[in-house]
Amino acid sequence: MSKYLYYPGCSMEGSGKAYHNSLMPVCEKIGLELQEIDDWNCCGATEYLGINKIPAYALIGRNLALAEAQSNGAQDIVAPCSACYLNLTKIDSYMAKKNGVDELINDALSAGGLSYEPGQLGIHHLLDLIVYEIGLDTVKEKVVRPLTGLRVAPYIGCMAPRYDYAKRWSDSEHPLELDWLLGALGAEVVDYPLKTHCCGGHMPQIGPDTAYELIHRLVDYAEEVKTDIMVAVCPMCQMNIDAYQNETNQHLGTKHKMPIVFFTQLMGLAFGMRERDLGFGSELVSAKEAIQKIGSEVPKKKRKKKDKFALPMPHPLGNGILKNGTNGKELILPTEGRARGGRA
């Protein structure tokens, strides 16, 4: 059993309840013990930063300081929300540069009797933790009901792989971690080039026209590639695409009906857990129809006849370290379960 400090983030108590409710049994199943950070506070999302920089940093600093104090120097933090994860890693990394930011934040923290030494805690997103620390082999072992027949669009969103302060992702624009995980669950993963494009962020609240457009782009392309269900790793992404889809339709005259659920919900299904224990049903665009496809016959792919004129493709990303031209910068290997970053 690996033990981690759990920073849920505000959404997990509200709009992202399905995420929380599904990740708890799933983590237990794969041997992840989560201990909630006592008395954590909001990370400020993207809002506080636009008002006051140092207080916004200090707000995040308090969470880091609490975590450090509660970790006994042994545990890493895991955040399921990408925005929380980004904020935690960002402030940790800024402080670690030791160019004055650390002193300012610690000065502020000292007013509350706290302090934080940057770089001491590993900070993970739940997805990277499962892929790299738990490993896909462990996940595969637990699968009792493979998600065959389900066409899933892996939607990671922005803030997990960007800005990759903790250096945990295979790529910041086309990361493959969610593809691998969903593949391990037996689902049919569609090629979804918009996987890290924006869900609209806070725009539904402050500039709905922008938000409708961004939501439309994501859903429209998912439909284009015949997706049954989109998979999110962040409560804000899920909320925007799910809850504002109807409004988007009204506004743009579209007829999108694309369900989106959290990856932990699908893991739970594949592990044989009951839908209602995994928060299914709380989505506004129902996933019911999509879920029923699980287990359906997969039409056999027609083997594309190799065209005698076709030119070979370059080795795809992830063919390992290339012979030439890496210039000392290692290409990321997609080796499953490879631990990267974090504490040794």
What is the closest distance, in whole angstroms, from the C-beta atom of residue 114 to other proteins in the complex? 7
What is the closest distance, in whole angstroms, from the C-beta atom of residue 94 to other proteins in the complex? 7
What is the closest distance, in whole angstroms, from the C-beta atom of residue 297 to other proteins in the complex? 28
- Minimum CB distance to other proteins smaller for 300 or for 309: 309
Candidate segments 8-16, 120-128, 255-263, 269-277, binder of other proteins by CB under 8 A: 8-16
Comparing C-alpha atoms, which of 188, 138, 195 is closest to residue 169? 195
Residue 113 is a binding residue for other proteins (CB under 8 A): yes
Q: How far is CA 181 from the centre of its chain?
A: 11
What is the closest distance, in whole angstroms, from the C-beta atom of residue 162 to other proteins in the complex? 4
What is the closest distance, in whole angstroms, from the C-beta atom of residue 148 to other proteins in the complex? 25
What is the closest distance, in whole angstroms, from the C-beta atom of residue 245 to other proteins in the complex? 9
Residue 47 is a binding residue for other proteins (CB under 8 A): yes
Residues numbered 323-342 forming contacts with other proteins, rule: CB under 8 A: 323-329, 331
User: Judged by CB under 8 A, which of 4, 57, 263, 271 binds other proteins?
Assistant: 57
The residues, ordered by sequence, that sit 6+ positions from 37 with a Cβ below 8 Å of its Cβ are: 5, 6, 7, 63, 66, 67, 70, 77
What is the closest distance, in whole angstroms, from the C-beta atom of residue 13 to other proteins in the complex? 6
How many amino acids of this chain bind other proteins (CB under 8 A)? Answer: 104
Rounded CA separation 49/34 (Å): 29
Task: Tell me what percent of the chain is helix, strand and coil, each rounded to the nearest 5.
Answer: 40, 10, 50
174 and 191 Cβ atoms separated by less than 8 Å: no
108 and 62 Cβ atoms separated by less than 8 Å: no
User: Judged by CB under 8 A, which of 1, 74, 310, 344 binds other proteins?
Assistant: 310
The torsion angle over the Cα atoms of residues 140, 146, 151 and 153, rounded to 10 degrees, is -30
Residues numbered 116-155 forming contacts with other proteins, rule: CB under 8 A: none
Q: How many CB atoms lie within 10 A of CB 307?
A: 7
The residues, ordered by sequence, that sit 6+ positions from 339 with a Cβ below 8 Å of its Cβ are: 132, 133
- Minimum CB distance to other proteins smaller for 148 or for 282: 282
> What is the sign of the dihedral through the CA atoms of 236, 237, 243 and 247?
positive
What is the closest distance, in whole angstroms, from the C-beta atom of residue 209 to other proteins in the complex? 7
- Minimum CB distance to other proteins smaller for 163 or for 298: 163
Alpha helices of 14-79 — where are they, by DSSP H?
17-29, 53-71
Residue 180 is a binding residue for other proteins (CB under 8 A): no
Residues numbered 188-247 forming contacts with other proteins, rule: CB under 8 A: 193-194, 197-198, 200-203, 205-210, 213-214, 217, 220-221, 224, 243-244, 246-247
195 and 154 Cβ atoms separated by less than 8 Å: yes
Phi-psi region of 138 (alpha: psi -120 to 50; beta: other; left: phi over 0): alpha
- Minimum CB distance to other proteins smaller for 33 or for 36: 36
Phi-psi region of 167 (alpha: psi -120 to 50; beta: other; left: phi over 0): left
User: Judged by CB under 8 A, which of 26, 78, 152, 159 binds other proteins?
Assistant: 159
Comparing C-alpha atoms, which of 64, 58, 67 is closest to residue 104? 58
Site map 15..34 versus other proteins, x via CB under 8 A: xxxx----------------
Site map 251..270 versus other proteins, x via CB under 8 A: --------------------
